Amino acid sequence: MDNKLAKLIELAHKLPENCLDETIGYMEEKIAENTEQKPVPPCPHCGGLAKRNGHKDGQQRYMCKACGKAFGDTTNTAVSYSHYGEAVWKQVIRDTLEGVSLDDTTGALLLSHSTAFNMRHKILLALEAEEQRQPTVLDGVCELDDTYVLENLKGSKIPEDYGRKARKHGAVAQKPGVSNEYVSISTGVQRDGGAYCRTVTRATPGKNDIASVFDGHIGEAALVLSDGATSYNVLGENFGCDVVHVTDENKSGFFHTNTANGLHSFIKERYIHYRGVATKYLNRYNALFSKMFRNGEDLADWIYNILCFNEIPNHRSVNDVRTLGLLNI
């Protein structure tokens, strides 16, 4: 998708100096027109009626007639206190969906690297929060399986007593098989519906790990197809669904886990494209991968609306980005 903001910035660099004031004035008029056309939102603090209350930093402000508190369009949302408007946020969302590197995003939009990083992770945190608010429930015929990625300490310095040296991109595990050098991603896909994946452990997950991942995400009427791992039997024991293990003997046109394998391939491709994902942030990216898999729609508008939804837990500060929900296994 074309980056219209990058094109606008490129054109601005080519403007003659005597056209700058006229161009700036035109853009300010368009911003004011757009603001005036927006309806006055209800108060995010008490839900009462509000009125317009001037501007601050170029953004419309409101005053609640009931509780008297001032607020803006983004108060109590994931984009609170942001200096950037809808167009910039949506372009960062599209870059995130398309796997554009942070360096390319910062160069095209003239953002600092830290700003682009914080914006991307606020997006990922909002997707995680939305999954908690409206969990994906797999029903009907579902395929469940695990895939594995190497532990990644990208962006962190490895302690001297950590037990291994730093790896270069593309390196392989030192131990054969699925060892604790690998992080497990447990995945589930409904054949005619959504996908869900989450990480809770290293190496091969046990029955307690499987139960914790899919608690609240499996319907009672689901038919779960998995490989030969007996740990998936816990889903039938705990949640009442039917579990069938796909083996060489019963593998057929119906009994297979090809859809789950397709999700694994999608995750691995994105993982390689990102040149690895820091393990502590992996569940944030799992939320992104789950939503993107087999979804052909433009998700940018939907994700931006989530960012502006003030009933989601307020993942909006830089401190949240650095500390909230980090994976520690």
Question: Residue 172 sits in a domain of what CATH number?
Answer: 3.30.420.10
Whether residues 145 and 8 share a domain: the answer is no
Query: What is the tally of structural domains in the chain?
Result: 2
In a domain, 191, yes or no: yes
Same domain, 143 and 25: no
For residue 124, tell me if it sits in a domain: no
| Kind of pairing between the strands at 182-190 and 141-150 | antiparallel
User: CA-CA distances (angstroms) from residue 232 to 202, 206, 245, 327?
Assistant: 17, 9, 9, 23
The model's pLDDT over 267-301, given as tens digits with 9 standing for 90+, comes to 999 888 887 889 999 999 999 999 999 887 788 99
**Cα 174 off chain centre by:** 31
Query: Measuring CA to CA, how many Å separate 130 from each of 28, 116, 206?
Result: 34, 21, 27
Q: What pLDDT does 61 receive?
A: 85
**Residue 79 belongs to a domain:** no
pTM for this entry:
0.83
The per-residue pLDDT for range 66-85, each reduced to its tens digit, is: 898 988 877 878 888 788 88
Q: Which two tokens stand for residue 176?
A: 């054969």
Assigned domain for 85 exists: no
Give the chain's length.
329
- Same domain? For 148 and 12 the reply is no
Start-to-end CA distance of the chain, whole Å, equals 37
Q: Are residues 289 and 169 in the same domain?
A: yes
CA gap 267, 286 in Å, rounded: 8
Q: Which domain holds residue 184?
A: 136-297
Are residues 144 and 293 both part of a single domain?
A: yes
Residue 306 domain flag: no
Q: Please provide the average confidence, as pLDDT, over all residues in the chain.
A: 86
Q: Is residue 101 part of a domain?
A: no
Q: Measure the CA–CA gap between 3 and 95, rounded to whole angstroms.
A: 9
16 falls within a domain: yes
The pLDDT, as a whole number, for residue 296 is 72
Confirm whether 103 is domain-assigned.
Answer: no
- Report whether pLDDT(56) > 80: no
Most confident of 4-13, 202-211, 246-255: 202-211
pLDDT reported for residue 35:
63
Whether 147 and 285 map to the same domain: the answer is yes
Is residue 1 scored above 60 in pLDDT? no
Task: Please tell me the predicted confidence (pLDDT) of residue 28.
Answer: 72
